[in-house]
Chains A and B, each alone.
Chain A
């Protein structure tokens, strides 16, 4: 069955709001807010020095450090986003939790943690200062402060938008209530509060989410049945890659054609497994801060390893729901429900989006109370993500920007007060960012990508600094900066269209237009074959209309004259046939008082005299939402590369550039003397003696155990 036939059916989808909460669900949400605020007030008395506020007193046990490490990463954007990825890319989505995380986390625990820990740095930019000097630290400190509040604002905006779409909540109310709560508890308890809430959130996410895969797999008739149904359904759901294998981790990575991501094993291993993953897990300060504050080096290492184990469990509540979306989400007539990307013009009108897969499953399985818990877990995820960003901002701002550049010799009390103020200011800047996104919402989808373009070079710089004592301050600075510039350059390159990018042809019927629909019925499925617009207005995007049919004086805006105007169902561009989409979000059906909404393609549209038309021809040289296949093949080695594949390859090249430039510049510039590199570089650092280590606390043993589990999981789901 073609997707075209499905469109009109989905048009009949119910109310726009996806979930409806009852009194019990609200009670659960209110209790959560009361508890986090209570904890914030309770923790204030334990945050009385700078060390307490910024580093939680460096007293955390391995379990708390590990839980907080993984929880800081397990935000709601993450769970919803990676469920959506699994819906889009199948089981390949699980790589983010396997090769895309575990090797890097093990490397952080075993190789890098001793350096971070022993040099007693407050932050990753702080390490750069010690290793390379003020230049590299300033670039990192300033860009990091800027980025954290941007990300925090973006996640606030995303939360408000999601709560609005799912529950119909007012976006302003969501933003202000969540941010005031975060501001109160972070300002009171600093990192300690942030960490407490992250650990709490971790439990809530599992309690609120684990039922979905359990019930979903029962519903699908077991694991094997689910996989078989997926392979059958993707022909309808993802027709462009309908022949790709959606249910393997590696078997489908032999070539670019056999998997839904358009990537090969090299891109997966080196792009995701090395560049993206090591950048994120080893140098993103938000992550690293969680474990460098453990009470001793062994706890820091074991905490990181606990994090690795917990990370490997996450696909249960993220990847499996995404896969379930391909198997158990059905239309009322039993056909598979088709979700579309956010960028699809049908998104939100006739179709739910990939990002809705998790909420749709929540609505399908979770009854009163459980739904409230699921929504609370989602809100908790957003809020603890915000709190994490704000506390990281306060630390990096106070220690890496304010203290070295603005006020060098103040008292600890002064820096503590600065930490509290900057937490509050961080929240305010986040709110401002969130509101800015109301007007520039398309920035949101690129923000995450841009973060990687900064973090990957940072990893290159830090790792060379740790492992190679010949790396010089000039090498570090130029390697870092060049790689950032190259990353941004690659991003611009893949979105540039020298011949112009023309969005697909589209006819939008304005709200209130009156239409008559001609349909044919085949079984239960009705298909629209012709649309006659009798009254109202239509907008045309890249739909060809002969000059004779337009008004001579105003060719882009006119009213249909004496005769009917028939718009084509297909157009041709560069020798390719393009189907014209017709979207109607709310139209009146002719001769009735009923309204309807639909999205169809390849259907003739007839405009009756009197209908007003606005026609636009759009062709852009730079389109950040579209990828130019002629350019992506240079970056991602294939014209078939999907956005995720392009991002992975871009990260790989930016790491290569960073390492190459740092090495080349270092070879021709003067290194720091060995004495200044003590405790910062391998070979010049003596690990502290932490006393006898029982076998069950030995980080190396656990690192080996985790590696074995990782290998086994990859073989089982090969």
Chain B
């Protein structure tokens, strides 16, 4: 957490990793729903929010993971 500690992995790394993981899951589900639309679509389903929101989470998460990777 604190930048002056050698050993402790910064919180930002954990946040980035979790965002990437969640982003991949949401993006994957979103793409699947584009290919295989559900029987009862939600409101505004045509905007495919899962796809771009998942992609955005992966992008933000990767930035954090790279910037705060352990041993950097």
Contacts and interface: CB of A to CB of B under 8 A. Distances in A.
Contacts of B35: none
B15 A215 contact: no
B33 A192 contact: no
Interface string B8-42: 11010011001101100110111001000010001
Given A59-B4, A367-B49, A24 B15 contact: no
Contacts of A39: 14
A327 to B, nearest CB: 13
A28 interface: yes
A377 to B, nearest CB: 10
A369 B43 CA distance: 16
Given A207-B22, A219-B43, A35 B2 contact: no
A215 B19 contact: no
A368 B22 contact: no
Nearest to B56: A207
A59 B7 CA distance: 14
Given A64-B11, A364-B42, A211 B21 contact: no
A39 to B, nearest CB: 6
A60 B2 contact: yes
Contact of B43 (A31, A199, A364): A364
Interface in A61-95: 61, 64
Contacts of B2: 57, 59-61, 295
Contacts of B50: 367-370
Interface residues of B, number: 31
Interface in B38-68: 38, 42-45, 47, 49-50, 53-54, 57
Contacts of A367: 29-30, 33, 38, 42, 45, 49-50
A493 interface: no
A59 B11 CA distance: 13
Contacts, number: 89
Interface SS, B side: helix
Given A59-B1, A203-B15, A364-B43, A369 B26 contact: yes
Contacts of A192: 1
A32 B53 CA distance: 19
Interface string A292-317: 00010000000000000000000000
Contact of B22 (A28, A56, A59): A28
Contacts of A215: 43-44, 47, 49
Contact of B14 (A28, A196, A219): A196
B8 A24 contact: no
A31 B22 CA distance: 9
A709 interface: no
Contacts of A64: 1, 11
A195 B4 CA distance: 17
B57 to A, nearest CB: 6
A56 B8 CA distance: 13
Given A64-B1, A370-B50, A35 B14 contact: yes
Nearest to B8: A46
Contacts of B11: 64, 196, 199-200
Residue of A46, A57, A366, A367 most packed against chain B (CB within 10 A) = A367
Given A199-B11, A211-B53, A219 B21 contact: no
A60 B49 contact: no
Interface in A364-412: 364-370, 373
A282 B15 CA distance: 29
B25 A218 contact: no
A192 B1 CA distance: 9
A203 B19 contact: yes
A180 interface: no
A474 to B, nearest CB: 42
Residue of B11, B33, B43 most packed against chain A (CB within 10 A) = B11
B3 interface: yes
A27 interface: yes
Nearest to B53: A211
B26 A370 contact: yes
B44 A219 contact: yes
Contacts of B49: 211, 215, 365-367, 370
B1 A373 contact: no
A60 B45 CA distance: 42
Interface in A201-230: 203-204, 207, 211, 215, 218-219
Contacts of B57: 207
B26 A373 contact: yes
Nearest to B44: A215
Contacts of A57: 2
A207 B19 contact: yes
A218 B44 contact: yes
A678 to B, nearest CB: 30
Nearest to B25: A369
Nearest to A42: B9
A122 B1 CA distance: 20
Nearest to A22: B29
Contact of B25 (A28, A56, A366): A28
Residue of A200, A215, A370 most packed against chain B (CB within 10 A) = A370
Contacts of A31: 18, 21-22
Interface string A638-661: 000000000000000000000000
A32 to B, nearest CB: 8
Interface of B: 1-5, 8-9, 11, 14-15, 18-19, 21-22, 25-26, 28-30, 33, 38, 42-45, 47, 49-50, 53-54, 57
Given A39-B14, A295-B2, 8 more contacts: A28-B22, A196-B1, A196-B14, A207-B22, A219-B43, A367-B29, A368-B29, A369-B54
23 contacts: A24-B29, A28-B22, A31-B18, A59-B2, A59-B5, A60-B1, A64-B11, A195-B1, A199-B11, A200-B11, A200-B15, A204-B18, A215-B43, A215-B44, A219-B43, A219-B44, A364-B42, A365-B42, A367-B38, A367-B42, A367-B50, A369-B28, A370-B26
Which 7 pairs across A and B sit closest by C-beta, in order of nearness?
Answer: A369-B29, A369-B26, A59-B2, A368-B29, A364-B43, A203-B15, A24-B29
